[in-house]
Amino acid sequence: MNTILVKTKKHDYPIIIGFDLFNTSYLFSSFKYGDQAMIVTNQKIFTLYFQKLSDILKHIGIKLDYIILPDGEKYKTLITMNIIYSSLLKKFHSRDTTLIALGGGVIGDMTGFAASSYQRGVKLIQIPTTLLSQVDASIGGKTAVNHHLGKNMIGSFYQPTSVIINLNYLDTLSKREFSSGMAEVIKYSIICDNIFFNWLEENLDKLFNLDPKSINYCIYKCCKFKSKIICEDENEKNTRVLLNLGHTYGHAIESETNYNGKWLHGEAISVGIIMSCITSEKLNLFKNSDTIRIVNLLKRCNLPIRSPKFMNTKKYLKYMFLDKKVHNNKIHLIIPVKIGKVIINNNITENIISDSIIQSRNLMK
C-alpha cells in the first residue's frame, strides 16, 4: 500500500493506493460509531462492489444509506444532482454526514459537487473504480455537472477527505474503459516526464495485461504528478491549467455528441492531444517525430487519433469559445513543446486551430 499526501490550503488528505484494500476497516478510522454516510454509485458498481464496502462500514457502526444513479456522462446534469439532494433530505442526513463516491469519473464529479453544496459542505470520500478516475478525476477536488452547451460548466473546487484507490477494481473494467483511462496516463507523461513516456512505450503490454507491479507503478506515478501540481495551484490559477492538454479540443467533441457515450472522455482527449500536437507543430514549437511517437502510443492503446467526420471546424470553435480557459475572447490552448513539457498559448489564430482540426481528420491515411 502506498500513500501520497495532498496538501491544500484548507486541509491535507491522503491518496491511498493498493490491492485488496477493503479487507480491513483501517481506512475508515476517522469515522465514529453512529456517524452517517451515504454511498453514491451506479447499478453496475453496486452489483460488483457495494456489499463488501457496506459490510465494513456497518461493522464499525456507520448509519449507512446508498443511492444508485443512472450510468453515463449524459446523466451528469443538475436533474440528476437533485436526486442526490432529495435522497439526503428524505433520509435526514445532516451537516456531519459523509458522501462516498463509489464509481468512475461521472459518479465522482457528481458526488463531489453534491458534497460541496449540500448544507454548504459535507465530508467526501472518493473511491474511484476506473483507470481514468484513479489517475485523474478523483484527485484534486474538481467537481461539476455538464450543460448542453459545454462540459463541466457548473461546479466547484472541493477537496475530499481521502481518495482510496483499490487496484483490484481494474479487473472488471472493460478494455474500452481501460483504454480511455490510458489517454489521461499518456497525457501526464507528455506534460510532466519524458522518462515516464519512454516507460509507457516499453511497458504498455504489461499494463493492458494488468501486471500488478506495472499497474501499481503507473497509477502511483500519475497520482504523484497530479498531487504535486494541486499542492502548487489548487484552484487552477496557473500551473494546474497545464493538466488540460487536449481537453479544449476534446471537450468540444463530447459536447457536440451530447455526452451520449459514443465518445468516451479519454477517446475525445486522445484526439484533442493530437490536435494540440499538430497546433504546436504549426507554430514551429514541436517536432513532427514526437507527434508520431504520441500517435503510435495512442494507437497501441486502441484510442482514436483523428477528428470525427461529423464535426466541422465551426462546431469545434463554437464550443471552444465557451471553454473555461477563454479569457478576453481568446482561446488559451495547452500545447506541447517537447515530450515532458507543455505551455499555455493565448495567441493562436482561428486559422491555425481550424487547420489543425482538418489535418487531424486526414492524419496518417
Active site positions, annotated = 120, 142, 184, 226, 236, 240, 244, 247, 251, 265
* Residue with cell string 453514491: 40
Which residues lie below 8 Å from residue 297, measured CB to CB, with a gap of 6+?
Answer: 186, 197, 200, 201, 204
Closest listed residue to residue 130, CA positions, set 81, 76, 166, 77: 166
Distance CA 241, CA 333 (A): 9
8 A C-beta contact, residue 205 and residue 115:
no
Question: How many helices (DSSP H) and strands (DSSP E) are in the chain?
Answer: 13, 13
Using CA atoms, how far apart are residues 333 and 344, in angstroms rounded to an integer?
Answer: 6
Nearest of 323, 222, 345, 226 to residue 276 by alpha carbon:
345
Residues 140-167 as b/e (b if ≥16 CB within 10 A, e otherwise) read: bbbbbbbeeebbbbebebbbbebbbbbb
For residues 334 and 283, the answer to whether their CB atoms sit within 8 Å is no
DSSP state of 71: P
| Cell representation of residue 14 | 491522503
Instruction: Say if CB 273 and CB 308 are below 8 A apart.
Output: no
Phi, psi at residue 82, to the nearest 5°? -65, -25
**What single string gives the DSSP state of each residue in 15-37?**
EEEESSGGG-SGGGTT--TT-EE
Do strands 150-157 and 162-166 pair parallel, antiparallel, or not at all (unpaired)?
Answer: unpaired
